[in-house]
Homo-oligomer: A and B are copies of this chain.
Amino acid sequence: MARVTLADVARAAGVDMSTASRVLRGEASQRVREETRVRILKIAEEMQYLANPLARGLRTQRTDTLGIVVPQLDNPVFASAIRGAELEAAERGYSLLISHREPGETATTIAKISRTNRVDGLLVASLDDDEVLRTDLAAARVPFVLMNRILPGAPLSVVLDSRAAARKGVEHLTALGHRRIAHLAGREGGFNARERLQGYRDGLAAAGIAFDEALVGVAGYTAEGGTQAMRALLPQHPTAVLAATLVSAAGAMATLHEAGLRIPEDISVIGLHDAPVARMLYPALTSVAMPTEEMGRVAADLLIRALGGEDPTPVAPLPPGTLVVRGSTGPAPI
């Protein structure tokens, strides 16, 4: 039970702590005799020595820990980003401190976590407005990288190419012959929402379809929002819908079912951000996969490089993944 300390190992190996430290730390230029090195390593192994990160951190002023703060845990996008960050961090010798905060608590969290030497840097996802986020981040005393959004003035952020994704979705629909395609947008004014709307227009333009504002509704990111927005759009008689998320797509499908429309015979539905829940809907939802795990990975990589003193190299938006065709999309009705 009693923890094995460096001193214990050194004593057992008959060397000084400093020597043991040198070896155990895996220092590059270990000016230590091979024989001694091996002996110390062997003994440490036998004694199951594990360095105390508190003591180490106190001395080095580093924790080899990255913090990641997300607004929701049960959001597939963030869950997946966390996984990616976790993998990248682990590969690079860092731990990940996951911090889940409700909107509004973000500032305090960032302040606490970053000002108490708990983490060397921060990965931040936020659904808050620019101004709020900016204020929150002002409290950060460590380098940070934004995920899934940009913030004017913040140099490091990793985003998904929502515009290309939306376009890809629309192209799938136009290829199926659809021309009256509705769009359920996310939160008005949001970065991704803006991008997706643009991609939606790109897709229409590529097929020579005129943009019609009446076919765009704001659904936000809830099922209820999708239901409402879809209901409002019904009188426009779209033959297909591009939803910003799986959740709003699900909400929209409820409206369509209620209206007695068959999916996909009467109307096709496509969502953005593929995730297991797409298969839980009926019919299973066609959707554009997004590299959310990659986003976490890249963000972690960027942060670690920044911590290493490298200069912030902004990365381009991550291109969408494959279009996963399921049962919710089909040829346009004649």
A interface residues (Cβ-Cβ under 8 A, vs B)? 1, 3, 48, 50-55, 57-58, 63, 72-76, 79-80, 82-83, 86, 97-100, 112, 115-118, 141, 223-224, 246-247, 250-251, 253-254, 257, 275-277, 279-284
Contacts and interface: CB of A to CB of B under 8 A. Distances in A.
A76 B247 CA distance: 14
A84 B73 CA distance: 12
A246 B54 CA distance: 42
25 contacts: A3-B115, A3-B141, A50-B112, A52-B58, A53-B117, A54-B55, A54-B57, A54-B58, A54-B63, A58-B58, A72-B79, A73-B82, A73-B83, A223-B276, A223-B280, A224-B279, A247-B276, A250-B280, A253-B282, A254-B284, A257-B282, A277-B277, A277-B280, A280-B280, A280-B281
A116 B73 contact: no
Contact of A100 (B76, B98, B254, B282): B98
Given A75-B74, A280-B281, A141 B1 contact: yes
Given A97-B98, A98-B99, A247-B280, 7 more contacts: A3-B141, A74-B74, A83-B100, A86-B100, A98-B100, A247-B276, A250-B281
Nearest to A254: B282
A116 B65 CA distance: 14
A116 B277 contact: no
A50 B284 contact: no
Contacts of A275: 74
A50 B116 contact: yes
Nearest to A224: B279
A259 to B, nearest CB: 12
A54 B54 CA distance: 5
Contacts of A223: 276, 279-280
A280 B247 CA distance: 7
Nearest to A68: B98
Nearest to A79: B74
A51 B250 CA distance: 47
A210 B27 CA distance: 70
A118 B53 contact: yes
A108 to B, nearest CB: 11
A283 B227 CA distance: 13
A122 B75 CA distance: 24
A300 B1 CA distance: 23
A22 B51 CA distance: 29
Contacts of A118: 53
Nearest to A263: B282
A2 to B, nearest CB: 10
A97 to B, nearest CB: 6
Contacts of A3: 115, 117, 141
A117 B52 contact: yes
